[in-house]
Chain A
Amino acid sequence: MTWQTFVFVVVAGLAFGYSGYRFAILYRLLKAQRGKANRLGHLGARTLAAIADVFGQRAVLRKRGPGIMHATIFWGFLIITIGTLEQFVSTIHTSANFQFIGQTPYLTLIWLQDFFTLGVLLAVGYAAYRRYVIRPEGLGKSRDADLVLTFTSSLMVAILLMNGFHILGDNPWYRDAMPVSKYLATGLAGLGLSQESNHALWLVFKWVHMLIVLGFAMYIPSSKHLHVIAAGPNSFLKRLSREKGMTPINFEDESIQQYGTARITDMTWKDGLDLYSCTECGRCQDLCPAYNTQKPLSPKALIMDLKENLHRNKAKALAGKYDEVGPLIDGNITDDVIWACTSCRACEIACPVFIEQTDKIFDIRRNLVMMESRFPAEMQPVFKNMETNASPWAFNPSERVNWAEGLNIKTMAEGAEIEVLLWVGCAAAFDDRNKKVLRAFASLLKKAAVKFAILGTEEQCTGDPARRMGNEYLYQSLAKANVETLNRYNVKRIVTACPHCFNTLKNEYKEFGGNYDVIHHSQYLAGLIGEGRIKPTKAFDETVAFHDSCFLGRWNDVFKEPRDVINSLPAARLVEMKEHHDSSMCCGAGGGRMWMEETIGKRINVARTEQALETKAGVVASSCPFCMTMLTDGVKTKDMQDKVKVLDIAELIDQATP
């Protein structure tokens, strides 16, 4: 017991007390969120995923340079914190230390701490270089980040100086396990200070180090550095499968008076934890098609603005005065921000801490549409078409079979015996360009002697556009009608050339009693080609750039099959665009944007088409009717329609298959 004991206990007590108080508020704020989320199942799988994502830094390392930087700092802090704890303990009780673990383990620990102190310092140096010299747009400017970098680098410098003077002043027995500090000590020896002075300076830097740690503890709850506490749990609580459906609203439940989120407190505790986890790294923003074409939406800014809204409404939320909590559309977040999203999900897949931006946007849309009837005017006829004619486009349902004229395709009503049901989708049924795609696919199914049928006029829009645009009520009426029809015919397998229908049928009909084996036509074709039922033999001497559909790739992890299909074409050369697979850029049509005017900034489809044209490929291959429309328009806008063809993978295979 020395004077240090008393000073430390008092100072640390105050610091941790304050920090604990701030964390308690953050916890109570999560409890004040009124939405429901259930993320506590599958504990084993969650643990394994969290070990890989948190301790293995899997998600962070997806981006190489900053990933290695972060992993070094993360692992460094885990190791260094052990030393810090030892320091705290020995400050309280002089003879206490961690040497009881044995001499070799202790020396290893000391060596690792010394090594990582330098490592973290270098990593922070790289971070500073990146932030202040390279200045990637996604990082932006942040006073928070300035402070964190200052804190962290001072901490490391303090440790090294502390150890250097310790070696000079006290000559500890484990000094050889500190090569970096020892090297520094050689330099410090040049100052020519007495042993007592060196010992005193050790004490000074020890306290500098401890005080920075305590300062950090008080600072974390109010900063973006809160991620060091929140991101771990958020990774543990992430959605385990990539496929996900939106949470349905129970319209039968009359106790529900409000649909969607109008206020920050209408969100769930998991949404709150998402906000706490954001480190503002900007990976989401870097890939956002809306942001990259000058729309007001940035997924990073959205999350930061939501967090700011939460803090602004803290007192009212904690007091349970929910009616007084301010609206979510608060000036920082505008209607244009919410409607700019194409639901491409690039932000979510890129996020190293598994924040789910799209759910928040969809929930806000639900409130705007169903409670306030507030949405871009172009959407009203789309809703009305879906209500009256079960299609987002104005067509009579009787025209739904016109695409198949002359193909002699049976409908389920005609009592067809089938291997698989062909789900046509509204785009292929009513849009002239996409009719050709489906005719090519149907022709391939016939060449492969697949027994299939369609629902014909009984098929209705799956409801995907309505759901993504926030009209859950309309979505459910369409979903229930389709499930009723599909179950009436006892349909087991469905194949569709539309990724939007695919995603909805596969992931979102389960909630309404529709359980089917749903296959996208890229997967089905890859299968038929693999089995030898389709043999593309005609040479196709052309370079083909494949465009990933968001609802096929990012939403359902189907990347390989469409590429396999293209590679099966004799003589074809598959090339990738600048952005592909998980980083692929959206065509601009998802999330209902297909039917909305794009008046702000550059057109997304043109930006994506430019990426396609950069490859110099003669063919842009798509596997989605919406992408087909957007890319075809893009190629026309660039006046390249004579040189570049936009074709569906089914058309490519059909023309090569005798």
Chain B
Amino acid sequence: MNIFVCIKQVPDTETKIKLNATSSGIDPAGIKWILSTYDEYAVEEALRLREKNPGSTVTVLSAGPARVIESIRTALAMGADNGIHIDLPETADNNSIAKALAGALKKEAKVDLVFTGKEALDDSAAQVSQLLAEYLDAACVTVVLGVEYGPAGVKARREVEGGAVEVIEASFPVIIAAQKGLNEPRYASLPNIMKAKKKEVKALKAADVGVSDADQKIRYKNFQLPPPKQAGKKIAGDPATQAKELVRLLHEEAKVV
């Protein structure tokens, strides 16, 4: 099986976000970058599938500036076989990224399965898996909790709102967007970390995968940080007074009722 995983590098969840000078995005200086958590489930699922199907390969792709190669190495250390980096600017939007990933995948001889996270940990846009499916003209199952793999396709369980589960059957090639709970991602063993350092990561340019400025559908501007959290207010008095005061505050100050 030819298995692919599309990953994104995101700021660590403990990062203190700062805006850049033009407020068109965040300031990348001093940020610790990590592999997006949902993508870890995607990598793990790909590795487990390969372990059950000897002879399969797992290739990890990421589109973005040079820093994302570090996250490709993280996935290689977990056990992926190959890496592909597509050089895109920091500002690339979901459409450019999906088109770039699709362009790179189209260069591959055969694509059976593509795993992604259900969304990225930073922008939570949840766009790339579905855009990618469009570009590849492939099936796509998102928010996936479990997959049964058959010879020609998959039966995937996906989470829908209200705690219900949908079961979707799809034939190869299929894109699976992983939800938390799909598996427990492994911790890279030291020999694999060492091996990952030596693995070659194939480098592609935007032009190689047919992506140009025209594919950028979103221009970002006027980013704002959320207002600092305000201290809570304690309402004194007997329950009747408290309730009255609460309604007044919700109406006059918070303007929600």
Contact = CB atoms under 8 A, between A and B. Distances in A.
A388 B188 contact: no
Given A377-B184, A394-B13, A388 B32 contact: yes
A487 interface: no
Given A389-B12, A396-B14, A396-B16, A473 B193 contact: yes
B191 interface: yes
A259 B14 CA distance: 32
A208 interface: no
Given A388-B32, A388-B34, A370 B14 contact: no
Given A388-B32, A388-B34, A473-B193, A380 B14 contact: no
A259 B186 CA distance: 18
Nearest to A375: B187
A136 to B, nearest CB: 42
Given A388-B32, A388-B34, A473-B193, A373 B14 contact: no
A384 B77 CA distance: 14
B235 to A, nearest CB: 26
Contact of A388 (B12, B189, B190, B191): B12
A373 B186 contact: yes
Which of B184, B187, B188 has the most chain A CB within a 10 Å cutoff? B187
A371 B189 CA distance: 5
Interface in B199-220: none
Contact of B188 (A373, A389, A394): A373
Nearest to A379: B187
A395 B13 CA distance: 9
Contacts of A369: 187
Interface residues of B, number: 15
A251 B190 CA distance: 10
Interface string A358-377: 00000000000111110101
B230 interface: no
Contact of B189 (A372, A380, A389): A372
A546 interface: no
Contacts of B187: 369, 373, 375, 380, 383
A502 to B, nearest CB: 26
A473 B32 contact: no
A38 interface: no
A251 B12 CA distance: 27
B15 interface: yes
Contacts of B14: 388-389, 394-396
A473 B13 contact: no
Interface residues of A, number: 20
A398 interface: yes
B70 to A, nearest CB: 11
Nearest to B188: A373
A384 B193 CA distance: 14
Nearest to B30: A398
A354 B14 CA distance: 45
A389 B189 CA distance: 20
A383 B187 CA distance: 9
Contacts of B15: 396
A370 B13 contact: no
Interface in B1-47: 12-16, 32, 34
In the A-B complex, the 7 residue pairs with the closest CB atoms? A370-B190, A396-B14, A373-B187, A373-B189, A388-B32, A388-B12, A380-B187
Given A370-B190, A371-B191, A389-B32, 17 more contacts: A251-B190, A372-B189, A373-B186, A373-B188, A373-B189, A375-B187, A377-B184, A384-B34, A388-B32, A389-B12, A389-B14, A394-B13, A395-B14, A396-B14, A396-B15, A396-B16, A473-B193
20 contacts: A251-B190, A370-B189, A371-B189, A371-B191, A372-B189, A373-B186, A373-B187, A373-B189, A377-B184, A383-B187, A388-B14, A388-B32, A389-B12, A389-B14, A389-B32, A394-B13, A394-B14, A395-B14, A396-B14, A396-B15
Interface of B: 12-16, 32, 34, 184, 186-191, 193
